A and B are shown apart, each in its own frame.
Chain A
């Protein structure tokens, strides 16, 4: 089986898996785990989008 995601799909998958592990391991209560996982996911994907736009504008 060969899987060829786009760059953005790879970022989203990476962010999803890493955020779940960070949420569970870095916080103690389930509520705080979920909040931290969402926070990490938004930061991962948001940083990728912002950096992508910066690189696009610099390259022009």
Chain B
């Protein structure tokens, strides 16, 4: 009982959404903030690897929403946080999909963003004590 109260008191200290926001902006950062170094490193390697390979396959970075599929693609891309913003600033990623591998690359980038959102929510669950 006392341990449970202490755990709740610890979880209530500080800004509870920090791991969620940090995890969204930088893959794995939410777990690093909570001292989960191995999990954070594996998540960062997976999400960064997927994003970088997507760019290397000449995948498209969605820049605007012209139709419903573009809106979904943009939502997925935005899940990458700073990776997406920096890549857009640097002009990485293709504007048009011209080869088959570019289509794979576009999916890799979108899925990396979606996986990053899952990882950030996991960091939030660890922070609130919903997950151990």
Kindly report which residue of chain A lies nearest to residue B45, judged by CB atoms. A20
Stretch at the interface among B11-19, B47-55, B64-72, B81-89: B47-55
A51 within 8 A of B: no
Bound complex: CA A17 to CA B119 (Å): 12
**Chain B hits for A14, CB < 8 A:** 50, 107-108, 111
Q: Does the CB pair A17–B46 fall under 8 Å?
A: yes
A57 within 8 A of B: no
Q: Does the CB pair B101–A4 fall under 8 Å?
A: yes
Chain A's interface: helix, strand, loop or mixed, by majority? helix
The size of the chain B interface, using a CB distance under 8 A, is: 27
B3 within 8 A of A: no
B104 within 8 A of A: yes
Kindly report which residue of chain A lies nearest to residue B57, judged by CB atoms. A3
**How close is A45's CB to chain B, nearest CB, in angstroms?**
15
A2, A20, A28: the one within 8 Å of B132 (CB)? A28
Residue pairs across A and B with Cβ atoms less than 8 A apart, 24 shown, are A2-B57, A3-B101, A4-B57, A4-B99, A5-B101, A7-B100, A7-B104, A10-B57, A10-B108, A13-B53, A14-B111, A17-B46, A17-B112, A18-B111, A20-B45, A20-B46, A21-B43, A21-B46, A24-B39, A24-B122, A25-B119, A25-B121, A25-B122, A28-B131
Known: A17-B115, A18-B115, A24-B43. 8 other contacts (CB 8 A): A2-B57, A3-B53, A10-B57, A17-B50, A18-B50, A22-B118, A25-B43, A25-B119
Q: Which B residues contact A (CB, under 8 angstroms)?
A: 39, 42-43, 45-47, 49-50, 53, 56-58, 99-101, 104, 107-108, 111-112, 115, 118-119, 121-122, 131-132
Q: Which A residues contact B (CB, under 8 angstroms)?
A: 1-5, 7, 10, 13-14, 16-18, 20-22, 24-25, 28
